[in-house]
Amino acid sequence: MSRFVVITSDADFERRARHAATGLRGTLHVITADYLPPGPDDILRVLTGELAEVILFGPGLPLEDSIRLASLFDLQFPEISVVLVTESRSEVALPAMRAGVRDLLSPNADVDEIRSLFERASLAAAGRRRGLGNSVEGQPPGGRVIAVMSPKGGVGKTTVTTNLAVGLGKVAPMGVVVLDLDLQFGDVASGLMLEPERTLADAITGAATQDSMVLKSYLSVHPAGIYALCAPLNPVEADRISGDQVGHLIRQLSDEFQFVVVDTAPGLGEHVLATLEVATDVVWVCGMDIPSIRGLRTGLTILNEVGLLPERSHIVLNFADRRSGLTLQDVEATIGFPVDVVLRRSRAVPFSTNKGVPLLQDGTKDPATKGLAELVDRFKPNWEDRPHKKLHRRVVVQ
């Protein structure tokens, strides 16, 4: 169960917070005070039973003390989400982010806004706990970087990317970020129905390159519990972004998130190669047509020769249809690798794309949904520990 802690001397805000917590999974503990103790332990020791997940520093508290205590929580209890209520949101945003504050809230926020914030902060806490729990001594830090690739365009790469990110968001709430590296014509924003205020062009310059908290403030939040960093709004900006900047950005994101899902541009350009240098996994997407299949074979061969093929590869056959004149065996014989996931041709896919709601978000029952869920399963903890026969079970094209 989640435990929400609110510290405030404002009786009206306390009333709204109590009302907002009604019906949420967990309990609300209110500490009525106009000052803060020296350290986190002084707050946590007054709680009994469940551990705190979300601590909200409400109206009536000294701002400097709130930021100081938030930084201590971030160091000592990073799994707890700290939220700050302030009227000076623009002035406080940067120091608050640096102190590890997960969100800011207006003191005039209504009940629905407070409830929404409780839900977001609780999801973020759950994602942090999973990330801390999955860290293993001796392993390099950072999350998994999943590059979704295709040498050819028009094979449904962005559809696979957005659905994979949404599916992983259920595994690690608020622990997933999707990055649109199709810098000239990226469609992640439209595929997730987002209107980003900041884009990748903002994230590779200025303070964001040095401060991960500033970088996080540039991300767009999606209702499915994931973050997104979308492609530049102007295609001209793509020429100003180097491969080194892309590599640095991905490493920054992997230090903060359990999964970084990268939607790359078609081909093997500078930005794609920079992504492969830091990727832990690559998801290859190809259609059931000869140009797409031959392009994939060529891409695999080239990357293998130059040593840029990640150890973990996942091959997805999209638009699968027996009426195409090709068989699964034809595809595998051409590319020289087994196909891991088959996505059958479906009318539901273009409909969901036009709607801006991925299939794995709205739960549409469709053969393509089943295939996308199978792809997500390949990234769940302990997936590789499954019995050998399940890892290499023959997929079927219908």
- Strands in 213-347 per DSSP E: 220-222, 226-229, 259-264, 281-286, 312-320, 341-344
Taking the C-alpha atoms of residue 394 and residue 398, their distance in angstroms, rounded to an integer, is 13
Question: Averaged over 79-104, what is the pLDDT?
Answer: 84
Question: What band does 127 get if pLDDT is binned at 50, 70 and 90?
Answer: low
Give tens-digit pLDDT for 288-334.
889 989 999 998 888 888 888 887 899 999 988 878 788 888 888 99
Q: What is the pTM of this model?
A: 0.68
Question: What band does 221 get if pLDDT is binned at 50, 70 and 90?
Answer: confident
Residue 265: the pLDDT is: 92
What is the number of other CB atoms lying within 10 angstroms of the CB of residue 112?
Answer: 11
* Tokens standing for residue 287: 């259609």
Taking the C-alpha atoms of residue 228 and residue 152, their distance in angstroms, rounded to an integer, is 24
Taking the C-alpha atoms of residue 193 and residue 345, their distance in angstroms, rounded to an integer, is 23
Taking the C-alpha atoms of residue 44 and residue 38, their distance in angstroms, rounded to an integer, is 12
Taking the C-alpha atoms of residue 73 and residue 255, their distance in angstroms, rounded to an integer, is 19
CA 272 to each of CA 1, 166, 182, 294, 344: distance values in angstroms, whole numbers, following the listed order: 42, 22, 9, 19, 27
Instruction: Please list the alpha-helical segments (H only) found in 257-342.
Output: 270-278, 290-306, 328-335
Question: Domains plus CATH for the chain?
Answer: 2-134 (3.40.50.2300), 144-391 (3.40.50.300)
Is residue 314 within 8 Å of residue 283, measured between CB atoms? Answer: yes
Give tens-digit pLDDT for 154-166.
899 999 999 999 9
Mean pLDDT of the chain: 85
Give tens-digit pLDDT for 324-355.
788 888 888 998 889 999 998 888 888 888 88
Is residue 370 over pLDDT 60? yes
Amino acid identity, residue 367? P
